[in-house]
Chains A and B, each alone.
Chain A
Amino acid sequence: MAIKLLTFGQITEIIGQSESTVNAMDSDALKAQLIMQFPGLKDLQFAIAVNKYVINENTGLKDGDTVALLPPFSGG
């Protein structure tokens, strides 16, 4: 299951790249996996978007989905 992972802002600085491919069944599993790999993410507040929609609960992922990690917005 290939998921496209996009990161932005401070999260890209922690992960070291803005785009990568990951494998995970659902958003909670992905989050846990990333926090284990990049402990710096643990203390960061971020939202998760699946295919450009911000999710509020654990969401199943399928091949080809795009998951984005969104730190607090600061446009304007």
Chain B
Amino acid sequence: MIEEKKVKKVFVNGPISPVFVGESIAKHSTKQDIGAHSIFLGQVRNDIIDGNAVLAIDYSAYNEMAEEKFHEIREDAFQKYSLTCMHIYHSLGRVEAGEIGLFVFTSSIHREDAMEACAYIVERIKEQAPVWGREVFDDGRHVWKQNNFKETQ
């Protein structure tokens, strides 16, 4: 558990590949006390805004603050839930519609902890991580996305 708590790198450049997600799952086959994994994958949606489709989201962040915030969210989740391990990956840069920009992966002995922790982490990220998505349209214009989130404790 100690090993899981040190500051981990969350940001990856560009989209998170399905192969990477698969390999992450495979790596846990040696941890045989785990009985449940919960995974959240955030995919870029081709919203239509004022008649134009979103082609991609270009993510940027206040890196130093975001790394600290991700660390705090990780610590809080380990306090609140009984987790065997936890991984958070967030994209920076351009992620095309249909590609993955957020990957949250929690594992526990029984399913409740993994599932609840996963939802908790995703909500905290949406609400508190200093990350911005610039939605790029097919006509070259852009808007800055705004998150809807549930208040978390």
Task: State the A residues within 8 Å of B (CB).
Answer: 6, 8-10, 49, 52, 68, 70-76
Cβ contacts A to B, 13 pairs, < 8 Å:
A9-B60, A9-B132, A49-B62, A49-B130, A68-B65, A70-B62, A73-B130, A73-B147, A74-B132, A76-B102, A76-B122, A76-B126, A76-B147
Could you tell me if B147 and A74 are in contact, using CB atoms closer than 8 angstroms?
A: yes
**In contact, A52 and B64 (Cβ under 8 angstroms):** yes
Residues of A within 8 A of B133 (CB): 74-75
What total of chain B residues lie within 8 Å of the partner, measured CB to CB? 27
Q: How far does the Cβ of A40 sit from chain B's closest Cβ, in whole Å?
A: 13
Q: Which residues of B contact A (CB under 8 A)?
A: 42, 59-62, 64-66, 68, 90, 101-102, 122, 125-134, 144-147
Shortest CB distance B37–A (Å) = 19
Q: Are A72's CB and B64's CB within 8 A?
A: no
Are B62 and A8 in contact (CB-based, < 8 A)? yes
In angstroms, how far is the closest chain A Cβ from the Cβ of B129?
Answer: 5
Tell me the nearest residue of chain A to B145, going by C-beta: A74
Q: Among B64, B102, B126, which residue has its beta carbon within 8 angstroms of that of A73?
A: B126
Closest to A9 in B: B132
User: CB within 8 A of B62: which of A6, A10, A76?
Assistant: A6
B135 to chain A, nearest CB (A): 9
